[in-house]
Amino acid sequence: MAFALDTHWVWDFWVADDGEMFHLFYLRAPKSLGDPELRHRHARIGHATSTDLAVWTDHGEVLGPGAPGDFDATATWTGSVIRGDDGLWRMFYTGSVFLEQGSARNVESIGMATSADLHRWDKRDGFVLRAAEEYYEKLGDTAWHEEAWRDPWVFRDPAGDGWHMLITARGAAGTMTAGGVVGHAWSPDLDTWTVQPPLNDPSRTFAHLEVFQVAEVDGVSVLLFSAPRTTGGTEGVWIVRADAVPRDAAVDDASLLLAAPHYAGRIVHDRAGEPVVLAFVGSPGAGAEPAGITDPLPARALLAASAPSLDAAGGIRDRHLRR
């Protein structure tokens, strides 16, 4: 493992690159809890740095839950970090509120914290982005155990029209085995956000789609997400060709990039410009404790192996074979 802790479980993560250092932000919870399922109620956001994506220096916790009554009163979950045109780094993260002891029922919302140096983070007072009931399932609409509105992935519009946020969510007519959507919000400036309709029709084979990322490898734009497929039960990191803003992405046709116990995969470009994949080991359905984050894995080789069901992967495969 490239990154693991003796005293804490480590799972979902995201990476920011300041040009000199890679900054890893990750979910952590103490192993002293005993039961790894309890980690979700006790998740905090940690921070580590590396020059090569393989050897990391841990800096401990950088963001934790708020006060009782806050949108993040119970735990802080997965997010993303991006630098605005004003030079300020913004972390968009998930806040969770569990409603009862011994129950998985919880409400998820999205908050923001800001930093000048990626080390010290201050929550943005008053910023809370919630699911809009006209587009998305809310807690109690079905028997689903949560109000899914998490894992914000923020990126600049490739045509220069503001910023997009992809969000783990469920369509307004979801079922227990289907209904996962690519939730969407848009901002002109990273500070003011408007919830938009989902970018895709509800999935027929995924009840939810977690930890999104849009990435480009050798000119091919892809969408990554993680989930168990409810038809067949296959779990892991999935990938599908998509536009840079993944409207109408065919998530039900996604290829398995990394099977469980791998989860929450991210494509990152190293200092040589080579694409690599990182993932954590110990996926939700694998029956194992989260063990940490993998060493960098060669993205082209993984994409080539997934190529038979990736529409545009022929180009990736050809480039891989020529290397």
Pair of tokens at residue 175? 């079922």
1 domain residue, yes or no: no
Asked if residue 134 is part of any domain, the answer here is yes
Model pLDDT for residues 11-46, shown as the tens digit of each residue: 999 999 999 999 999 999 999 999 999 999 999 999
Please count the other Cβ atoms lying within 10 Å of the Cβ belonging to residue 179: 26
pLDDT band, very low/low/confident/very high, at 247 (cuts 50, 70, 90): very high
Q: What CATH number corresponds to the domain at position 186? A: 2.115.10.20
203 inside domain = yes
- The whole-number average pLDDT for the span 142-170 is 97
Q: Are 5 and 28 in contact (CB under 8 A)?
A: yes
Question: Does position 214 have pLDDT exceeding 90, yes or no?
Answer: yes
Q: What is the pLDDT of residues 260-286, one digit of tens each?
A: 999 999 999 999 999 999 999 998 776
**CA gap 166, 82 in Å, rounded:** 13
- Which two three-digit tokens encode residue 148? 């899914």
User: Is the confidence at residue 308, as pLDDT, over 80?
Assistant: no
In a domain, 99, yes or no: yes
Give, in order, the Cα–Cα distances in Å from 299 to each of 51, 174, 262: 19, 33, 14
Is there a contact between 74 and 97 (Cβ–Cβ < 8 Å)? yes
Task: Give the separation between CA 30 and CA 9, rounded to whole angstroms.
Answer: 6
Cα atoms in the Cβ-side hemisphere of radius 13 Å centred on 125:
0
The pLDDT-based confidence of 306 (bands split at 50, 70, 90) is confident
How high is the pLDDT of residue 322? 26
pLDDT value for 1: 85
Q: What is the pLDDT of residue 173?
A: 83
User: What average pLDDT does range 224-237 have in this prediction?
Assistant: 95
Residue 3: inside a domain: no
Residue 13 included in any domain: yes
Q: Does the residue 125 lie in any domain?
A: yes
Residue 321 pLDDT > 50? no
Count the domains in the chain.
Answer: 1
Pairing, β 275-281 against β 44-50: unpaired
Q: Confidence band (pLDDT; 50, 70, 90) for 307? A: low
If 0-12 CB within 10 Å is exposed, 13-18 middle and 19+ buried, where does residue 186 land?
Answer: middle
Q: CA–CA separation, 132 vs 149, rounded Å?
A: 10
Query: How much is the mean pLDDT over the chain?
Result: 93
Q: Is the pLDDT of residue 320 over 80?
A: no
Domain of residue 112 covers 8-322
Phi, psi of 301 (to 5 degrees): -65, -40
Residue 248 lies in a domain: yes
In 3D, which of 134, 121, 136 has the Cα closest to residue 200? 136
